[in-house]
Amino acid sequence: MKHPLNESLRTQVLVLPAKHGDSIIVKTFDSQANEFNIVIDGGPPGTFEEVLKYKLKLIPRINLMILTHIDSDHIGGLINFIKYPLFNPKQVERYWFNSKNIKFTTIGDNISSGQAKTFEELLISKGDIRDKWAEDIIVGCEPIMPDGISIEIVSPSQEILENLYKNWPDLSKEYQQQLNDLNISGMKPSQLSRGTLKDLAKADDTPDKTVLQDIFNSSSIAFVLRTFDMSILFLGDAHPLFLEETLRAKGYSVDNKLKVDLVKISHHGSKNNTTNALLDMIECEKFVISTNGGSSSHTHPDRETIARIIYHPQRVKSKFSNKRIIYLNHPIADMELKAGRFIDASDMTEGNWELIDNTQIFENE
């Protein structure tokens, strides 16, 4: 679709090479051709100095900054952005970050910070967040967006946030330890021995943890962004069982699929965050996985996730009528040093699909 006022304008999604994390910039335009920029997460700490800082210098105004959740591979780069000596709070127009401690009273200018953690404290002290703060971004809320741009929230729920906030005082020690952006040395074992893609897609895809057992990732903000020329499903690190439940509640099903142009796969391609049932409810042929192969504690993507994207039941039923593309935002050779070989040349001979690595820029064709 062309922009109604200027056919040369196009939405652009930048999935930055954020090591084992997520850092995404969306550049789009509203119905009046006004530029609208969204920053989603900042990757682990080093991402800011290595890549995000330079991209943000090219953006005069961040209309919406979203921190999906507080894992270090999403929050670290944003912490460094706010700490940056040249950080200008006027550059950021609005923040989305589900916080226990940053709540505004209905009258007056007081901020109840309580036991504010690193990011909260930085925002309170440097972010100039009064009148820029959106509280509790959850399923059911209807964010006010400029004409021509809309966002549909698909994660988390109020219940998930309440369970997250119960554990909030304990998070500092947990994610402070994770902030050490450890490199992995040596070649990791190949994943090819796990089985063929066809067989892996048919295997049990039940996540290792329930929604509430995996509260940090389950609290991730996930949403559908719709612009004049693109629709993108950003899944953060959201839990697949909650996503399935939410999509069904919204009326989506295998017969009424959620149609999008691009899906940012949840949790860097972990097998615990993508199920066949979820994929069955989504109509899309382009998927992007953001990871460099993982960290010292978790490697990804999993071969099982690739298998489900290609061979989930509804796609098999369609006899692979449309070509499907999986994009990686890092070179596959670098990823395999950490995650092991997760794809073989023989995997590409069936299923009508393609794997494209080292790709960070996405536009609608």
Q: Are residues 121 and 211 in the same domain?
A: no
Q: Which region among 11-15, 165-169, 223-227 has the lowest average model confidence (pLDDT)?
A: 165-169
- Do residues 188 and 324 both lie within one domain? yes
pLDDT band at 215; cut points 50, 70, 90 = confident
In this structure, are 19 and 108 located in the same domain?
yes
Same domain, 125 and 196: no
Residues 274, 305 within the same domain: yes
Q: Is residue 314 part of a domain?
A: yes
HSE of 345, CA atoms in CB hemisphere, 13 A: 0
Higher per-residue confidence, 124 vs 202: 202
Which one of 135, 164, 185 terminates a domain? 135
Residue 339 within a domain: yes
Instruction: Reply yes or no on whether the pLDDT at 175 is more than 70.
Output: no
Residue 35 lies in a domain: yes
Query: Model confidence at 104, in pLDDT bands (50, 70, 90)?
Result: low
Q: How far does CA 150 lie from the centroid of its chain? A: 17
Output the average pLDDT for the chain. 88
Question: For residue 358, is it within any domain?
Answer: yes
For helices 72-83 and 168-178, give the axis angle rounded to 10 degrees: 90
**Residues 171, 174, 179: CA angle, nearest 5 degrees:** 115
Measured distance CA(286)–CA(129) in Å, rounded: 36
For residue 212, name the pLDDT band (cuts at 50, 70, 90).
confident
**Nearest to 21, CA basis, from 59, 48, 54, 57:** 48
Residue 6 lies in a domain: no
pLDDT > 90 in the chain, percent: 72
Give the burial class of 84: count Cβ atoms within 10 A of its Cβ; 0-12 exposed, 13-18 middle, 19 or more buried. middle
Q: How much is the pLDDT for 119? A: 83
Question: What token pair was written down for 107?
Answer: 């009258």
Split into its structural domains, the chain has a count of 2
> What is the reported pLDDT for 2?
74
Can you name the residues that pair with 103 across neighbouring β-strands?
A: 112
The answer as to whether 166 is a domain residue is: yes
For residue range 303-348, what is the model confidence (pLDDT) as tens digits? 999 999 999 999 999 999 999 999 999 999 999 999 999 999 999 9
| 24-28, 216-220, 253-257: least confidently modelled range | 216-220
- Average pLDDT of 240-257? 97
Residue at 146 is within a domain: no
Lowest mean pLDDT among 107-111, 207-211, 234-238, 296-300: 107-111
Q: What residues contact residue 332 under an 8 Å CB cut-off, 6+ apart?
A: 343, 355, 357, 358
Distance between CA 221 and CA 63 in Å, rounded? 17
Instruction: Please tell me whether residues 97 and 217 are part of one structural domain.
Output: no
What predicted TM-score, i.e. pTM, was given to this entire model? 0.91
Residues 330 and 219 in one domain: yes
Q: Do 228 and 278 belong to one domain?
A: yes
Average pLDDT over residues 25-49: 95
Q: What angle do CA 345, 346, 352 make, to 5 degrees?
A: 95
Domain coverage including residue 306: 155-362
The verdict on 258 and 111 lying in the same domain is no
Taking alpha carbons only, the member of 333, 268, 288, 292 closest to residue 17 is 292
Query: Do 221 and 121 belong to one domain?
Result: no
Task: State the residue for tokens 């979820």.
Answer: 278
The candidate with the shortest Cα–Cα distance to 19, out of 223, 178, 209, is 178
Quick: pLDDT tens for 182-207.
Answer: 334 445 788 989 999 999 999 999 99
Per-residue burial over 210-225, b if 16 or more Cβ lie within 10 Å, else e, is ebeebbbbbbbbbbbb
CB hemisphere CA count around 139 (13 angstroms): 22
Residue 111 pLDDT exceeds 50: no
194 and 123 in a common domain: no
Predicted confidence at residue 36, as pLDDT, reads 97
Amino acid at 211: V
Do residue 126 and residue 25 come from a single domain? yes
Q: Which of 80, 107, 135 is where one domain is finished?
A: 135
Q: Does residue 285 register a pLDDT over 90?
A: yes
Give 320: exposed, middle or buried? Use CB within 10 Å, 0-12, 13-18, 19+.
Answer: middle
Residue 64 has pLDDT above 90, yes or no: yes
pLDDT of residue 174 exceeding 70, the answer is no
Q: How many residues does the chain have?
A: 365
pLDDT at 149 over 90: yes
